[in-house]
Each structure stands twice: as C-alpha cells, then as structure tokens.
Chains A and B, each alone.
Chain A
Amino acid sequence: EPEVTQTPSHQVTQMGQEVILRCVPISNHLYFYWYRQILGQKVEFLVSFYNNEISEKSEIFDDQFSVERPDGSNFTLKIRSTKLEDSAMYFCASSSTRGREADTQYFGPGTRLTVL
C-alpha cells in the first residue's frame, strides 16, 4: 500500500539554525500539507500546497517557514532560524485530486524536531 514517507525521523538542531524537513507524498497525490504536534498536544495545521503554490496557511506559518516542491517527488518544509518553541513533531500529509478522495489526507510517520 502506498504511503507517505518522511526524513529524517529525528532532527536535533541549535537555536537559530536552518532545518529542512523532507517528505515524499503518495505518488499520484497532488495536494500536500504540513502539520505539527507539540508533545502531548493536538495536531495543528501549518500549510497546504497545490500546483506549486501555497493554498492555505495558518498563523503559525510565519516568514520563518517556507515550503517547496523541488522535484516531482519531494515536498519540503524549511524553517530558516529555529526557535526553542519550534520543537515538535512535524507531519507531512497528502491527498488525491480525484473528487471526494481529495478529502482524505494520509499522514507520514513524522519528523521529531528538537531545538536546543
């Protein structure tokens, strides 16, 4: 069964450093998303992406964040200058473009980001 994959599984970085989190969505999906989950809390929406542009973003997704589809298979989330409060689990998700199937978002296993 196709699945969303994410790398790395765990990233440790120093405050102020840039990080890039990588995702490979399900191959025939064209809608992509990033969510984050601070330890013990609910999953929060960050951004959605379609046709090489941002469709929607939350208040969390400020100028320090950016997303990119650098090639036909990868989808990345960049945090330019990490803060302690960016420590969280980051999930990538994707959905199909086929009618109602576009409602259903499939999540990757996540990248745990720890900012020291």
Chain B
Amino acid sequence: NAGVTQTPKFRVLKTGQSMTLLCAQDMNHEYMYWYRQDPGMGLRLIHYSVGEGTTAKGEVPDGYNVSRLKKQNFLLGLESAAPSQTSVYFCAVRGVNQPQHFGDGTRLSIL
C-alpha cells in the first residue's frame, strides 16, 4: 500500500483520553476517507474529504472529528475515547475516476 501511510500503527488508550490518527498520502489525490473495521462488521465510513479544507460525515461519525488542512494529510481525532471505539482504523485515498487505495491500518485499543 505504498503512498498511503497511517500513523501510529498501534495505540492503547484509557477511556477519556484524546488522540489523533494521521493519514498521509504522496499521490496528490483529492479524496480521502476514514473507515473503522470491527469483527464481522466489514468497513464502515466515518468521515471523508473531497478536497483540502473540506470534510463530511459518513455512516458512523459520532465521537470523531476530522480535519484536512493540507491536501496530503487527513487527521482523525478522538476527543474523549470510549471502549466502543476500539477498532482497526483504515484510511483510503483516491484520485478522480480511480478506485480507493487503502493504508495498512491503525489498531486502537481503549481500556
């Protein structure tokens, strides 16, 4: 999955803590997405961005915030982490008229 880098790869948080996940791309693509994947649930869209400075809600946005201040970076924030947010988070990017390309994920555990 060259071109889409997620940071960090693993993280353990305590309930109520905050953190930010970073997705960085070097492909100059317009569209960026954040998904979460839980066992047996497939991938669910949290937030997405169609360009620098724009964000929008996906299927499961509650408890998360995002920012796209620079075209190459899409940040996913948890202001007050909850155990229900324990999941694997995937970032995806895509160019115009192209399919999505995914990063390798961030595994987040909230105790």
Task: Please determine whether chains A and B interact with each other in the same assembly.
Answer: no
Chain B interface (Cβ < 8 Å from any Cβ of A)? none
Chain A interface (Cβ < 8 Å from any Cβ of B)? none
